Structure 1
Amino acid sequence: MSKFNALFRGIEVMIAFFLAVMIALVFLNVVLRYFFSTGFTWSEEVARLCFIYLVYLGTIGAMRDNQHLGLDSVLSRLPGNAQKTIFLLVQAGIIWVMTVLTMGSWQLVMQNLGDRWVATQYPVYLVYAIGLITGVSIILLALANIYRLIVLKISVNELVSIRDSSSSEQMGNIH
C-alpha cells in the first residue's frame, strides 16, 4: 500500500468517524428532547462541525476517484483528441474553482482568528480551514490527473473509470 493510499484511507476513516459522531449526537439529542425535555446545547454545534468536515473530506475522496458528477456518457462518445481536450478543460476549471475556494477560505480564516462558537468555544477559523485543505488537495489531484493524461498517456476513459485502489497501483501509485 502506498503512502497516498494510506493517506486516503485515513480520510475515509475520518469521514466514517464524523458520520458516526454526527448520527449519535443527533439521535441522543432527539431522545433527550422527546423523553426528558432537555438536550445538550453543544451537540448541535458538534454535529454541524462533523457534517462540514464530512462533506469537505468527502469531496477530496470523490475527486481522487474521479467520482464527481460528470458527463461520462457524453465524454465516452467523443473521439480521443476531443476527450483529452474536454478532460483538460474540466481539470483546468477545477483548478480555477479550487483556487477561488482556497483564497476565499484563507480570507475567512484570517477574519475569524479570534472568534469562537458559542456553546463549544470551538475556533471558527478551523471551520474555514477545511476549505484550504480541500482546495489545495483537489488542485493537486487535478494536476495529477493532467500528469496521468499527458505524461503517463493514460486514456480519458481509464481516468474517468478509476474506482478502486487496485487500479491506483497499476497507475504507478500517483493516484
Structure 2
Amino acid sequence: MSRLVDAYFTLLKILCALLLAGMVVLVFGNVVLRYGFNSGITLSEEVSRWMFVWLTFLGSIIALRERGHLGVDALVRRLPLWGKKLCFVVSHSLIIYAIVLFVMGTWQQTLINWDVVAPASGASVAVFYGVGLVFGISTVPLLLADLWRVLSGRADEAELIAVRESEEESVDEVQRRHLAADAGELSGTRRVGEAA
C-alpha cells in the first residue's frame, strides 16, 4: 500500500513539473509570437490559467503529505501533550469538514458545466472544476490517516504540530530539536539560561 501511495505522489510531482513547463511554453511562446511575429497562440491564456489552477491544487496535495503548509505553531508548541492532541483533532476535523463541503460544491459545478465548452479551446469547463474532486479524493484519506494515528496513540508528539512557522525550518529539524532538548543535549544552553 505504501508503494502505491508513493507512486501516486511521484506521479503528482511529475504532473506538477509538466504543468509548470507547459505554462512557461504557452505564456513565453505567446509573448515571443506577439512581439516578434505579430501572431499568437489562441489557447495560451485559457489553457495556462487552467494549468495554473491544476498546479496549485496538485501542489497543495503534495504539501499536505509532506507537512509543507505554513502556519502559526507558537501556541501549540507550548501546550501539554493532551492540548496538542486536542488542537490536532479539532483542526483536522474542521479541515476535513471544509474539504467535504468543497468537494460537494465542486461536484455540483462539474455537473453543471459538463456541457459548457470553453471559448478558446472548446474543451469542457468541467475539466477546470474537476481538480477539486482530485484534491478532495486525495487529501481526505491523508487527513483521516493522520487523525487515526493520533486517536489510536501511534503518533509522536512532534507529529502533533502539523504546520510550521517558516519555510526554512523543516519537520525533521523540529523533531531533531525536540529530541535533543528532551535528551538533554542542549545542556550548555540551559546553563547559560540558568546563569542569567
TM range (shorter): 0.7 to 0.9
Partner of 1:105: 106
Matched, 1:132 2:144: no
1:55-134 matched pairs, under 5 angstroms: 55-134=56-135
Runs of 4+ displaced beyond 6 Å:
none
Partner of 1:33: 34
Tell me the amino acid that sits aligned with residue 78 of structure 1: L
Find the aligned partners of 2:145 and 2:113 in 1 and give their Cα distance: 32
Partner of 1:169: none
Give the unaligned 5+ runs of structure 2.
Answer: 163-169, 173-196
Find the aligned partners of 1:111 and 1:9 in 2 and give their Cα distance: 32
SS in structure 1 opposite 2:78? Answer: coil
Partner of 1:10: 11
SS in structure 2 opposite 1:92? Answer: helix
Q: Which segment is superposed worse, 147-156 or 77-86?
A: 147-156
User: How many percent of aligned residue pairs carry the same amino acid?
Assistant: 37
Find the aligned partners of 1:50 and 1:134 in 2 and give their Cα distance: 14
Query: CA-to-partner distance for each residue in 1:92-140, whole Å, 9 max, x for gaps?
Result: 0110110111000011011111111111111111211110111222111
Q: Is the 8 A contact 1:109 1:129 kept in 2?
A: yes
Tell me the amino acid that sits aligned with residue 13 of structure 2: E
Please state how far the C-alpha of 1:3 moved relative to its aligned partner: 1.2
Partner of 1:21: 22
Find the aligned partners of 2:153 and 2:3 in 1 and give their Cα distance: 18
Find the aligned partners of 1:162 and 1:152 in 2 and give their Cα distance: 20
Q: Which segment is superposed worse, 39-48 or 143-152?
A: 143-152
Please state how far the C-alpha of 1:69 moved relative to its aligned partner: 2.4
Give the unaligned 5+ runs of structure 1.
Answer: 164-175
Find the aligned partners of 2:103 and 2:33 in 1 and give their Cα distance: 39
- RMSD between aligned alpha carbons? 1.6
Query: CA-to-partner distance for each residue in 1:29-51, whole Å, 9 max, x for gaps?
Result: 11111112221111111111111
Distance 1:112 1:104, change over 3 A: same
Tell me the amino acid that sits aligned with residue 64 of structure 2: M
Report the count of equivalent residues.
Answer: 163
Q: TM-score, normalised by structure 2?
A: 0.78
1:39-58 matched pairs, under 5 angstroms: 39-58=40-59
Q: Highest CA radius of gyration, 1 or 2?
A: 2
Q: TM-score, normalised by structure 1?
A: 0.87
